[in-house]
């Protein structure tokens, strides 16, 4: 079966660039540095044209392959939510502790790019070949956090953002993290935990949250039960 990283990538079109910008808006506008903002779009285009997904809003809203399935929306909703959480944390600290120093642009760019590797990890063709024979090259060959580093650096993002790609996930417990990565990592983890408690995830996808996780019914579920 075809090896996805060697599959010929589709061309990056202006239409794709505009769709990525739209899918990451309005949060992407919070990145003040125009070059960094452009590279965030470049990186997502770079990721998407090497996958089966035609646009960011087609990438499923999962935490990882097989776990944490949001009931609605796409991966773009998760990225934007994490960016908003990370900005709120950053802004609250900066307002109340003006002596603290945070690179807010790296926080926002890192939050919007932390799951850059998911189109690769969730790609149905990759899932199919990995599941068919994990002894061949693993399952997955690389988790999205690891492959995200490759994508981020290849697309020209600064290493500080690539560091957030790997450091936000379980790999990040094995080495020292930058301040900006610490913020995004916690924003990401809290986002998933709160979404679980609010009943926004498919029940059969939350086992990873542990036996003590509780789930509240949503308004729609309560109305349907009436």
Residues that bind Fe ion (CB under 5 A): 115, 169, 188
| Residue whose CB is nearest to Fe ion in the complex, by number | 188
Q: How far apart, in whole angstroms, are the C-alpha atoms of residue 36 and residue 14?
A: 18
Nearer to Fe ion, 4 or 146 (CB): 146
- Is the CB of 23 or the CB of 188 nearer to Fe ion? 188
| Residues 30-54 as b or e (16 or more Cβ within 10 Å = b) | bbeeeebbebbbbbbbbbbbbbbbe
Instruction: Look at residue 14 and give its three-state secondary structure.
Output: helix
Closest-CA residue to 71 (of 59, 80, 62): 62
Residue 81 CB, shortest distance to Fe ion, in Å, is 9
CB of 131 to Fe ion, least distance (A): 20
- Kindly tell me which of 71 and 94 has the beta carbon lying closer to Fe ion: 71
In the bound complex, what is the minimum distance in angstroms from residue 145's beta carbon to Fe ion?
A: 6
Residue 107 C-beta: closest distance to Fe ion, Å: 14
Residue with Cβ nearer Fe ion (123 or 188): 188
What lies within 8 Å, CB to CB, of 224 at 6+ separation is none
DSSP letters spanning 31-61: ---HHHHHHHHHHHHHHHTTSS-SSGGGS--
199: region left, alpha or beta (phi > 0 left; psi from -120 to 50 alpha) = left
- Cβ 117 to Fe ion, closest distance in Å? 8
- Identify which of residues 94 and 197 has a Cβ nearer to Fe ion in the complex: 197
Output 12 or 67, the one with its CB closest to Fe ion: 67
CB atoms within 10 A of CB 182: 17
Least separation in angstroms between CB 184 and Fe ion: 9
Query: Sign of dihedral through CA atoms 120, 125, 126, 128?
Result: positive
Note whether 20 and 48 are within 8 A (CB).
yes
Structure tokens at 96: 């109340």
């Amino acid at each position: 079966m075809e090896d996805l990283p060697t599959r010929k990538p589709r061309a990056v079109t202006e239409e794709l660039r505009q769709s990525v910008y739209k899918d990451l808006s309005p949060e992407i506008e919070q990145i003040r540095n125009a070059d960094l903002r452009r590279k965030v779009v470049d990186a997502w285009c770079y990721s998407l044209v090497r996958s089966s997904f035609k646009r960011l809003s087609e990438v499923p809203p999962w935490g990882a392959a097989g776990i944490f399935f949001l009931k609605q929306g796409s991966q773009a909703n998760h990225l934007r939510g994490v960016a908003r959480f990370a900005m709120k944390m950053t802004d609250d600290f900066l307002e109340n502790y003006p002596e603290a120093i945070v690179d807010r642009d790296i926080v926002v760019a890192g939050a919007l790019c932390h799951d850059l590797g998911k189109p690769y990890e969730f790609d149905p063709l990759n899932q199919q070949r990995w599941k068919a024979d994990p002894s061949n090259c693993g399952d997955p060959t690389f988790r999205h956090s690891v492959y995200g580093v490759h994508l981020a650096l290849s697309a020209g993002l600064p290493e500080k953002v690539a560091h957030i790609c790997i450091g936000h996930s379980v790999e990040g417990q094995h080495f020292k993290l930058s301040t900006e990565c610490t913020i995004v990592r916690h924003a990401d983890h809290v986002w998933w935990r709160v979404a679980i408690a609010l009943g926004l995830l498919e029940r059969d996808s939350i086992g990873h949250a542990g036996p003590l996780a509780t789930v509240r019914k949503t308004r729609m579920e309560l109305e349907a039960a009436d």
